[in-house]
């Protein structure tokens, strides 16, 4: 692992690189969840690089991990802005030449918006892990539960180990999702704009979204789409079912012809 700092639009973003550099192999770009950061991917990026032979770039969005903070409240369009304004510049700053966007939760929604609106020729595929395309009562209930755990439980202390500006990280995500105006947030109109191959992964016991999220993407996307459901798995397949998640992604990247290993 190589720790880096990327400068994007005057903001310093924490980043880490695993595996070969972008001029030697395709890059799997990890886009974290609403409370994630580089460190919370744990061993997943290293294992992904070893299994695929690709480079893996993980970065913490502004307000998360060791990245610079943001001003609160976040706009309710924060995922749109990340997808269209920040992510292309992250790829530029890291010299990424061929990419697969691997997003989890909010990060998957960001990847979806990017693929549908930016249409970056560097992006060859999407891995969407527990993506959100609209709000559901089950997800909002879980987000309210997270607020209770943060205010009166152990969640703040746990997150403070990973986020330099922990209140910014938590409130920026939680308060946006629980804003009454966010109830109408919906990405379904973007889905037909996805033409690159997509892999959709979700746990059957996901506490933040139902099968309707993946059903909507599969029904409306314009490119090839594969859906994988994982049993005995909640919202974080890469942590709860790491071997199955890694192997599924490996097959997807291999089918795209992007593995970093020489042909046998």
Q: What is the pLDDT of residues 188-197, one digit of tens each?
A: 999 999 999 9
pLDDT tens digits along 143-152: 999 999 999 9
Residue 88 confidence (pLDDT): 98
**264 pLDDT band (50/70/90 cuts)?**
very low
Residue 1 confidence (pLDDT): 72
- Contact indicator for 252, 127 with CB cutoff of 8 Å: yes
pLDDT tens digits along 240-250: 999 999 999 99
What distances in angstroms separate CA 121 from CA 23, 65, 255, one per listed residue? 16, 29, 18
**This prediction's pTM:** 0.97
Distance of CA 237 to the CA centre of its chain: 12
- 156, two tokens: 């703040």
Using DSSP bridges, classify how beta strands 11-18 and 55-59 pair: parallel, antiparallel or unpaired. Answer: antiparallel
Residue 223 confidence (pLDDT): 97
% of the chain at pLDDT higher than 90: 95
Q: For the residues 113-141, what does the mean pLDDT come to?
A: 97
Q: For the residues 4-21, what does the mean pLDDT come to?
A: 95
Q: How far apart are the first and last CA of the chain?
A: 27
Judged by average pLDDT, the poorest of 96-105, 125-134, 238-247, 253-262 is 253-262
Catalogue the E-assigned strands of 19-161.
27-31, 55-59, 99-104, 123-129
* DSSP characters over 177-238: HTSGGGGG-B-GGGGGG--S-EEEEEETT-SS--HHHHHHHHHH-SS-EEEEEETT--S-HH
| Separation CA 103–CA 130 (nearest Å) | 8
How does the average pLDDT of the chain come out, rounded? Answer: 96
Residue 67: name the closest of 115, 9, 127 by CA.
Answer: 9
pLDDT tens digits along 47-57: 999 999 999 99
Distance of CA 87 to the CA centre of its chain: 11
Q: For the residues 214-230, what does the mean pLDDT come to?
A: 98
What distances in angstroms separate CA 241 from CA 49, 168, 232, one per listed residue? 17, 29, 8
Residue 4 confidence (pLDDT): 79
Residue 3 confidence (pLDDT): 72
Q: What CATH code is assigned to 2-255?
A: 3.40.50.1820
| Separation CA 110–CA 105 (nearest Å) | 9
Residue 2 confidence (pLDDT): 77
């Amino acid at each position: 692992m190589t720790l880096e700092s990327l400068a994007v639009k005057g903001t310093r973003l924490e980043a880490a690189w695993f595996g070969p550099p972008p001029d030697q192999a395709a890059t799997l770009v990890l886009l974290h969840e609403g409370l994630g950061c580089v460190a919370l991917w744990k061993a997943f990026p290293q294992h992904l690089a070893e299994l695929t032979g690709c480079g893996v770039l993980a970065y913490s969005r502004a307000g998360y991990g060791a990245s610079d903070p943001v001003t609160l409240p976040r706009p309710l369009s924060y995922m749109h802005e990340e997808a269209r304004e920040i992510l292309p510049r992250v790829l530029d700053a890291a010299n990424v030449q061929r990419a697969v966007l691997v997003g989890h939760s909010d990060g998957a929604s960001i990847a979806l918006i990017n693929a549908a609106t930016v249409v970056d020729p560097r992006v060859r595929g999407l891995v969407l892990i527990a993506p959100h395309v609209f709000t559901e009562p089950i997800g909002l209930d879980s987000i309210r539960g997270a607020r209770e755990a943060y205010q009166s439980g152990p969640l703040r202390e746990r997150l403070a180990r990973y986020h330099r500006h922990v209140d910014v990280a938590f409130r920026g995500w939680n308060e946006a999702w629980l804003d009454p105006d966010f109830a109408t947030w919906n990405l379904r109109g973007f889905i037909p704009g996805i033409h690159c191959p997509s892999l959709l992964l979700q746990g059957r016991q996901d506490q933040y979204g139902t099968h309707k999220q993946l059903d909507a993407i599969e029904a409306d996307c314009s490119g090839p789409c594969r859906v994988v459901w994982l049993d005995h798995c909640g919202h974080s397949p890469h942590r709860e079912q790491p071997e199955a998640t890694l192997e599924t992604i490996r097959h997807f990247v291999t089918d795209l012809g992007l593995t970093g290993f020489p042909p046998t």
